Amino acid sequence: MDYKITLLPGDGIGPEVVNEAARALNAIADKYDHAFNFQERLMGGCSIDKYGSSLTDETLADCKDSDAVLLGAVGGPKWDDPNAKDRPERGLLALRKGLGVFANLRPVKVHPALIDSSPLKPEKLKGVDILVMRELTGGLYFGQPKMRETRNGKQYAVDTLEYYDYEIERIVRLAFDLAKGRKQKVTSVDKANVLESSRLWRQTATRLGKEYADIELDHLLVDTASMKLITAPAAFDVIVTENMFGDILTDEASVLAGSMGMLPSASLGEAGVGLFEPIHGSAPDIAGKGIANPIGTILSSAMLLRYSLKLELEAQALEQAVDAVIASGARTADLGGPLTTQQMADEILKHI
Ligand code: NAD
């Protein structure tokens, strides 16, 4: 089959890791007789430099017109001025909004051979296999009013945490659907003892839970969830939560795996184009050195195969190649090894 994939390498190490992920996808295409037609576009700081905009209308239109989008990372000190007219992160928010992706999926698995790279005790990490799902388009980051003003001579600021039931329903439903193919357990995380929006969240999750009799549903307050992620991470299967709680918990969960460079993510909507990217940023401290770990981006490509192209066998083949390479002891610098970005990808390619 023929597929069109838009590559947005972005800034810093983004181009380095996306290049290797594209090579891995091509190896899969060769093995399984597909054709992946890549179109590469600028986004983030590099797009500000060239077009004066972090995401141009043309680039967004090209993304919408493809089967999936693979992003590297955006941002860096060059574009960090808080008073700048445009910033790389704006492009990212506009892209998510433009593609209508409301669910961010971050699988966190601890590979047995990497248990010692995590700051947690090895016995806590055995069997950790979590899918954290973060709501992406609602909540505190988008609610209105959002403003700052002077009131009675004092600086005053407000953000608004708002949710409609349909926004909660679509992501919780997706969590139940994805739990079916896993350990069949959903943990819904909220702050229902304090927040009205969380009470609506919990009520909606409970109502939907009745439709999914085979799936175990429990509710945790976000403070308890953050503690349990460190004390008993193996107890979780699918975690589903609102935007800001998810922002914080996903970063906390990423520590379990040992290195930021290992972890993939997928952002999905009801239909249409999915957005796939590693969870790490543009890593300006190592950009240009050719030592970034490409695994997070290569595993994001596996998610792209699974969720957007519906090529499950091919997705598993890529994941198994990564597993085999880690088991063989191959390591980039972030994991204390000598391999360059390209050498690590070469190893993975050999196992496809
Ligand atoms: P970062 O994820 O870029 O880097 C944090 C640390 O992890 C650094 O020491 C870096 O060298 C290391 N690291 C990250 N990815 C790695 C990889 N693949 N291999 C080896 N080591 C890796 O986070 P930061 O330093 O806080 O942010 C840098 C820039 O990235 C900022 O401009 C930030 O806004 C941006 N950022 C972008 C995204 C995104 O594009 N989605 C996400 C987070 C941060």
Q: How far apart, in whole angstroms, are the C-alpha atoms of residue 68 and residue 93?
A: 17
Give the number of the atom of ligand 1 that is nearest the alpha carbon of residue 14.
40
Q: For residue 117, what pLDDT is reported?
A: 81
Nearest residue to 298 (alpha-carbon basis) of 270, 317, 274: 317
Cβ-in-10-Å burial (0-12, 13-18, 19+) of 263 comes to buried
Out of 80, 116, 165, 251, the active site residue is 251
Active site residue 223: yes
Residue 300 and residue 174 share a domain: no
In this structure, the residues whose C-beta lies within 6 A of any atom of ligand 1 are 13, 17, 73-76, 92, 260-261, 277, 280-286, 292-293, 296, 334
DSSP, collapsed to helix, strand or coil, labels residue 275 as: strand
Assigned domain for 106 exists: no
Q: How far apart, in whole angstroms, are the C-alpha atoms of residue 257 and residue 129?
A: 10
Q: How far apart, in whole angstroms, are the C-alpha atoms of residue 33 and residue 248?
A: 40
Q: Is the pLDDT of residue 260 over 90?
A: no
CATH number of the domain enclosing 52: 3.40.718.10
CB burial of 158-197 (b: ≥16 within 10 Å; e: otherwise) equals eeebebeeebbeebbbbbbebbeeeeeebbbbbbbeebeb
Assigned domain for 237 exists: yes
Cβ-in-10-Å burial (0-12, 13-18, 19+) of 64 comes to middle
Q: How far apart, in whole angstroms, are the C-alpha atoms of residue 80 and residue 116?
A: 35
Residue 60 and residue 2 share a domain: yes
Block residue for tokens 């995401």: 55
Assigned domain for 113 exists: no
Q: Given pLDDT bands bounded at 50, 70 and 90, which one contains residue 180?
A: very high
Q: For residue 162, what pLDDT is reported?
A: 97
Work out the percent of the chain whose per-residue pLDDT is above 70. Answer: 100
Q: What domain count does the chain have?
A: 2
Residues 223, 224, 225, 229, CA torsion sign: positive
Assigned domain for 222 exists: yes
Domain end marker among 257, 278, 302: 257
Assigned domain for 114 exists: no
Give the domain range for residue 347: 1-101+265-352
Out of 11, 67, 191, 307, the active site residue is 191
Assigned domain for 276 exists: yes
Query: How many angstroms separate the alpha carbon of residue 122 from the centre of ligand 1?
Result: 26
Which H or E run contains 97? helix 88-99
Block residue for tokens 């195969």: 305
CA distances from 245 to 81, 272, 275, 328, 337 (A): 27, 26, 21, 36, 34
Residue 221 and residue 165 share a domain: yes
Residue 91 and residue 45 share a domain: yes
Domain end marker among 257, 290, 310: 257
- pTM over 0.95, yes/no: no
Active site residue 30: no
Assigned domain for 289 exists: yes
Mean pLDDT for 108-122 is: 88
Mean pLDDT of the chain: 95
- More confident call, 258 vs 40: 40
Residue 225 and residue 134 share a domain: yes
How many residues would you count in the chain? 352
Residue 241 and residue 275 share a domain: no
Q: Is the pLDDT of residue 146 over 90?
A: yes
Active site residue 247: yes
Q: How far apart, in whole angstroms, are the C-alpha atoms of residue 113 and residue 250?
A: 22
For the packed helices 312-327 and 341-350, what is the interaxial angle rounded to 10 degrees? 120
Q: Where is average pLDDT lowest: 37-46, 135-144, 238-247, 311-320?
A: 135-144
Q: For residue 116, what pLDDT is reported?
A: 83
Residue 87 and residue 160 share a domain: no
Q: Is the pLDDT of residue 128 over 90?
A: yes
CB distance 352 to 31 below 8 Å: yes
Q: For residue 270, what pLDDT is reported?
A: 82
- More confident call, 66 vs 82: 66
Q: For residue 305, what pLDDT is reported?
A: 97
Q: For residue 1, what pLDDT is reported?
A: 80
Residue 332 and residue 278 share a domain: yes
- More confident call, 249 vs 255: 249
- More confident call, 113 vs 317: 317
Q: Given pLDDT bands bounded at 50, 70 and 90, which one contains residue 254?
A: confident
Q: How far apart, in whole angstroms, are the C-alpha atoms of residue 262 and residue 107?
A: 11
Assigned domain for 107 exists: no
Query: How many angstroms separate the alpha carbon of residue 293 from the centre of ligand 1?
Result: 11
Q: Is the pLDDT of residue 313 over 80?
A: yes
Strand partners for 241: 134, 189
Q: For residue 80, what pLDDT is reported?
A: 92
Residue 247 and residue 151 share a domain: yes
Q: Phi and psi (nearest 5°) for 104?
A: -100, 120
From the DSSP assignment, how many helices (H) and strands (E) are in the chain? 12, 12
Residue 18 and residue 45 share a domain: yes
Out of 30, 80, 218, 223, the active site residue is 223
Query: How many angstroms separate the alpha carbon of residue 176 from the centre of ligand 1?
Result: 31
Query: How many angstroms separate the alpha carbon of residue 261 from the centre of ligand 1?
Result: 9
